[in-house]
């Protein structure tokens, strides 16, 4: 054959392949989520998230030091609240001496350069396990937003760099931005979970924080996964209201959405490679059905290729180690 173009030329050796690789992962791509527990010296494996732990603050600080030394520059904090602190107002969420607030301060002191992002939603503090306040069996929007503003301000007071509202109430980004401005937190960013879908893949996370909804589901606030246009509407509204970074969540069943959002906006886009996506890789690897390390890099590369500038992932540490090898 005399061929004018031979595509295999660019795939011939590892060196050529890396010269023409279009998507390269680096430690700067990752946000490492951390689950924090009350107590001391605790490191509890989450049964549905093999190899991932909920840790007391002392161990969390050691973990953050390690992440920083590996080149990971941001963390996303979640706390597991004690049952006795849970009620329908979620008021523990803005307790200035609460576990989240103490954690933010202690981590800032220990690793000042680390970018601290904090989850903002009432579910870990809600006796109903919902992201908002419940009235007559419904999750009420406007009162919840008031609570989320208080929660965000208290995270900012403690030293958070970004608050990350994951609740999907209407108008919360604008209200939080206004609250931050009124309280002079002009350097605190908002990473909005803008297109967050009602997904079955959050299950393991809810095990980790004991935060599964006590009744019903989250479909009156999280998005219907049948929808694409709505993701753009939600995202553009959040940007108008003052979001600095937007997010698509989950990631893997939503790679198309990540790409569309990326094409539609001019601010950084993040994607959350969530707990159920982590659990599936772990389970298949444990069975010997896939090569875990290869799966991690392929999955994270696909999320970046889809358009994510940042990826929140439980694989952050593993990925950086693999990239260094
Ligand atoms: C809570 C919240 C959830 C996640 C992040 N923040 C769960 C939910 O909405 O029920 C999920 C993260 C994951 O599954 O890894 N608002």
Mean pLDDT over 53-79 rounds to: 98
- pTM of full prediction above 0.95: yes
CA of 235 to the centre of ligand 1 (A): 18
Mean pLDDT over 76-101 rounds to: 96
> Is any atom of ligand 1 closer than 6 Å to the C-beta of 275?
yes
Give domain status of residue 4, yes or no: no
Give domain status of residue 1, yes or no: no
Question: ipTM higher than 0.95?
Answer: yes
Give domain status of residue 18, yes or no: no
CA of 24 to the centre of ligand 1 (A): 27
Q: What does DSSP say about strands 43-46 and 30-37: parallel, antiparallel, or unpaired? A: unpaired
Question: 122 and 130 in contact (C-beta within 8 Å)?
Answer: yes
Domain that holds residue 258: 24-324
Could you say which of 196, 262, 304, 317 is catalytic? 196
Q: Which of 158, 51, 142, 65 is nearest to 104 (CA)?
A: 158
Give domain status of residue 218, yes or no: yes
Mean pLDDT over 128-156 rounds to: 97
Give per-residue pLDDT as tens, 1-49.
Answer: 999 999 999 999 999 999 999 999 999 999 999 999 999 999 999 999 9
Mean pLDDT over 300-314 rounds to: 98
Could you say which of 80, 82, 91, 249 is catalytic? 249
Minimal-distance CA residue to ligand 1 atom 6: 166
Give CB contacts under 8 A, 24+ apart, made by 134-138. 134/88, 137/215, 137/216, 138/220
Give domain status of residue 225, yes or no: yes
CA of 167, closest atom in ligand 1: 16
Mean pLDDT over 258-268 rounds to: 98
Question: 117 and 70 in contact (C-beta within 8 Å)?
Answer: no
> Is any atom of ligand 1 closer than 6 Å to the C-beta of 119?
yes
**pLDDT over 90 for what percent of the chain?**
98
73 is catalytic: no
Residue 325, pLDDT above cutoff 90:
no
> Is any atom of ligand 1 closer than 6 Å to the C-beta of 202?
yes
Mean pLDDT over 80-93 rounds to: 96
- Sequence-distant (≥ 6) Cβ neighbours of residue 138 within 8 angstroms: 220
Give domain status of residue 17, yes or no: no
**pLDDT over 70 for what percent of the chain?**
100
Q: How many CB atoms lie within 10 A of CB 57?
A: 19
pLDDT-based confidence at 301, cuts 50/70/90?
very high
What one-character-per-residue DSSP string does 37-106 give? Answer: ESSSS-EEEETTEEEEEEEEHHHHHHHHHHHHHHT--EEEEEE---GGG-BSS-GGGG-TTSHHHHHHHH
- Over the chain, what is the mean pLDDT? 97
- Sequence-distant (≥ 6) Cβ neighbours of residue 325 within 8 angstroms: none
Residue 63: its pLDDT value, please? 98
Domain containing 67 — which CATH number?
3.20.20.70
Give domain status of residue 10, yes or no: no
CA of 124, closest atom in ligand 1: 1
Mean pLDDT over 297-310 rounds to: 98
Q: In angstroms, rounded to a whole number, what is the distance separating the alpha carbons of residues 248 and 271?
A: 5
Question: 34 and 63 in contact (C-beta within 8 Å)?
Answer: yes
Q: In angstroms, rounded to a whole number, what is the distance separating the alpha carbons of residues 126 and 208?
A: 15
In three-state secondary structure terms, 250 is: coil
Question: 56 and 48 in contact (C-beta within 8 Å)?
Answer: no
Q: At which residue do the structure tokens 């990350």 appear?
A: 164
Give per-residue pLDDT as tens, 207-252.
Answer: 999 899 999 999 999 999 999 999 999 999 999 999 999 999 999 9
In three-state secondary structure terms, 157 is: helix
> Is any atom of ligand 1 closer than 6 Å to the C-beta of 131?
yes
Number of domains in the chain: 1
196 is catalytic: yes
pLDDT-based confidence at 66, cuts 50/70/90?
very high
Q: Which of 103, 108, 134, 106 is nearest to 119 (CA)?
A: 103
Residue 249: its pLDDT value, please? 98
Give domain status of residue 60, yes or no: yes
Question: 234 and 195 in contact (C-beta within 8 Å)?
Answer: yes
CA of 295 to the centre of ligand 1 (A): 23
Counting ligand 1 atoms within 8 A of each CB, the residue from 203, 212, 274, 316 with the most, and so the one to mutate, is 274
Question: 10 and 17 in contact (C-beta within 8 Å)?
Answer: yes
């Amino acid at each position: 054959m005399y061929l004018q173009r031979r595509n295999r030329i660019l795939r011939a050796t590892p060196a050529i392949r890396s010269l023409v690789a279009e998507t390269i992962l680096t430690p700067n791509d990752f946000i490492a989520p951390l689950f924090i527990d009350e107590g001391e010296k605790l490191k509890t494996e989450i049964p549905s998230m093999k190899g991932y732990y909920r840790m007391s603050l002392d161990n969390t600080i050691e973990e953050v030091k390690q992440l920083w030394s590996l080149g990971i520059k941001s963390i996303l904090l979640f706390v597991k609240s004690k049952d006795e602190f849970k009620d329908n107002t979620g008021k523990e969420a803005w307790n200035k001496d609460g576990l989240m607030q103490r954690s933010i301060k202690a981590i800032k002191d220990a690793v000042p350069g680390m970018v601290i992002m904090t989850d903002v939603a009432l579910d870990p503090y809600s006796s109903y396990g919902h992201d908002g306040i419940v009235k007559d069996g419904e999750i009420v929007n406007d009162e919840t937003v008031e609570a989320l503003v208080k929660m965000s301000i208290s995270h900012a007071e403690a030293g958070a760099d970004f608050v990350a509202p994951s609740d999907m109430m209407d108008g919360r980004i604008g209200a939080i931005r206004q609250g931050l401005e009124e309280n002079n937190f002009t350097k605190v960013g908002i990473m909005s979970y803008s297109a967050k879908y009602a997904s079955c893949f959050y299950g393991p996370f809810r095990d980790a924080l004991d935060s599964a909804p006590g009744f019903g589901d989250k479909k009156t606030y999280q998005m219907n996964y049948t929808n694409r246009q709505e993701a753009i509407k939600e995202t553009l509204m959040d940007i108008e209201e003052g979001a600095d970074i937007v997010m698509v969540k989950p990631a893997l069943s939503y790679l198309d959405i990540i790409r569309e959002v990326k094409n539609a906006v001019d601010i950084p886009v993040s994607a959350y490679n969530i707990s159920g996506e982590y659990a599936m890789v772990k389970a298949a690897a444990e069975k010997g059905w896939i090569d875990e390390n290869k799966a991690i890099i392929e999955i994270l590369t696909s999320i970046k290729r889809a358009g994510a500038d940042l990826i929140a992932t439980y694989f952050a540490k593993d990925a950086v180690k693999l990239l260094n090898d």
